[in-house]
Structure 1
Amino acid sequence: MLWLDSADSVAPALPAVWLIPTGASPHNLAERSKLRRGTARHLLARQLGCAEEDVVIAHDPAGRPLLARPEASGLQLSFATRAGIVAVAMAPRPIGVDVERIEMEGTVPLDVLHPDERGFLDAAANALRPLAFARIWAAKEAYVKALGVGFRRAPESFAVSLLSEIAFRVTDPSRPTEASGHLRIMKNGGQDILAAAVIVLDEP
């Protein structure tokens, strides 16, 4: 997996994820969507070697982003926005990306997790729990985005295992094989530390 930090970078191969610090502070869903879409169009134009006005992003009925134009690119997309960071993931197969702020204060919402994830967090040291939860939740969001269903799929119905600081595995009883993804920690240029996760799935 390629991780890129510059809006002007072109990936030499796919899959790839761009994590772009924009410095923006969107205040609502509409502003976040505009920021995501503008950043994604710029990146896609650079990657495909075309003008930004030639890039058209649409959505399928479930809300997953689609590259409507240029046609026949074969690219599959996923976007995320958090704390001024825009994540754009591209691959020739279903892909999902998410970014979560690491909240050092507050209570971890264990009730939305799979029992195996709750057990893992229960065993973690208190100081490490916020980071572990952010990684798990980013991985869960990335996975349901790659599935194309979002959290219409109950988050407790599948389990994320953190294999290392840079890798995770998803065990899902509805799919015959486990899937593996990639993790990264980054800062947004301010005080926020964020956990990013991306996963690419085989076609069902």
Structure 2
Amino acid sequence: ILNVPLFALGWMHVGRRFFLYSIAGMLIYSGALAWIHISVPIHDKILSAILAGIIMGTGSGIILRSLGSAGGLDILSVILLKRFSIRLGTTMLALNSLILGAGAVLFSLEGALYTLIYIYVNSYMVNLVVMGLSQRKAILIISSQWEKIAQEIMDKVHRGVTIIRGQGGYSGQERRIIYTVTALQELPRVKLLIRDIDPDGFVVVSDTLEVMGTHIGNQPHW
């Protein structure tokens, strides 16, 4: 019953497909919990919390990358991602921590800390599965060989580039700045390519929070 308003919010703020996939995800998840009983005798509580977080976070991440959810806080997390670009795992960590804090009086301090470990690992794995495996890097390149570097990136890495007009603050000389976005696994190739053409080229590599686009985007299209 508590899921009903959340599913309604999912329909309104995310879309019909997300709503239907989330219903399917919730039913499959509930059925798996009811029918699959696997007991793994792990007596170390910290290790149990870590393994549970890895397994649950990976599962939740796969469902979310498949454009659905398992219901509950997953729906709120997707809504906040779409509205405010807050990472899914970060939202889950914050919301679950608030719930844990509100109910901490019902648990021992030790139990609450074990649960906090699980929540953190779970949220980390969600971010890793949903975003980390498709992380994008933004690259700024300043070089006298900008034309050759830009052409090599397009020909060998198969990524588009944008040429920005700039001016050196000290020298006053006009420069061309190359801006491009690549997948994480393509970054070593780009760096090697730049080093081969211009060892003195100035390169800035930064993480991206969110990239939208048909060819290089890293966001599931909810």
- Asked if TM exceeds 0.5, the reply is no
Normalized per residue, the structure richer in strand is 1
